[in-house]
Amino acid sequence: MSPTFLRRTVSPSVAGSPRVGILALQGDVREHEHVLQGLGADTVRVRRPEELNAVDALVIPGGESTVIDKLSRAFGLREPIRSAMRDGMPMLGTCAGLIMLADTVTDAVGGQETFGGLDVTVQRNAFGRQTESFEVELDVPVLGAPPVRAAFIRGPVITDVGPGATILAALADGRVVAVEQGVLFGLSFHPEITGETRFHERLLAAAMR
């Protein structure tokens, strides 16, 4: 028998700002909460399908993609997230969250799966070890000035962009590090730890449409 998933029947944010879920299985949940709450959004830590059902948008934070994959299955969230995506829920994935939104991962470990949704291929840990983390200013034309201060911490790189996705930003050497596809946004880096709020604002705007 196929599983039955909860469906949103009414927006929980009818009285004000969107309610944004943050997938709270592993990763830098608190940092995303701080950014979103500073923008006036209600936030919910999502660990169960019923919590996903109560939000207008979802952030998939950085962390370890293999752990997020395993825990999303253990908590019964993988298929509900895919279903919510098909229903048009806006989602923002940063670092490991980008991996989880990618359709293809070239160096996935055995049995690793993603939620999919972004027509891209990614390579995990493309920027080396955590000790090789760095920050750089990125030009992101859709955001205008000033440049984005982006922190890269063992992040993935986008090695192929299909026709369904749009490139938002690339490094000086041409490596793609930010894409969007409809109401899905994927970033190789961590805007939530550098004071950058415009990607979260873009997510909130998508949730208000």
Is the Cβ–Cβ distance between 136 and 152 less than 8 Å?
Answer: yes
CA–centroid distance for 141 within its chain: 20
Q: Give the residue numbers spanning the domain of 170.
A: 19-208
Res 16: pLDDT: 66
Domain assignment of residue 71, yes or no: yes
Catalytic residues: 95, 190, 192
Domain assignment of residue 44, yes or no: yes
Closest CA to 112 of 81, 72, 79, 152: 72
Domain assignment of residue 99, yes or no: yes
Domain assignment of residue 50, yes or no: yes
Res 107: pLDDT: 83
Q: How many domains does the chain have?
A: 1
Is the Cβ–Cβ distance between 169 and 177 less than 8 Å?
Answer: yes
Domain assignment of residue 81, yes or no: yes
The CATH number for 81's domain is 3.40.50.880
Q: What is the pLDDT of residues 21-60, one digit of tens each?
A: 999 999 999 999 999 999 999 999 999 999 999 999 999 9
Determine the average pLDDT of the residues in 172-190: 97
Asked whether the predicted pLDDT for residue 205 surpasses 60, the reply is yes
List, in order, residues 6 or more apart from 206 with CB less than 8 Å away: 57, 90, 183
* pLDDT band at residue 83 using 50, 70 and 90 as cut-offs: very high
Q: Tokens 């309610």 correspond to what residue?
A: 19
Is the Cβ–Cβ distance between 59 and 37 less than 8 Å?
Answer: no
Res 152: pLDDT: 93
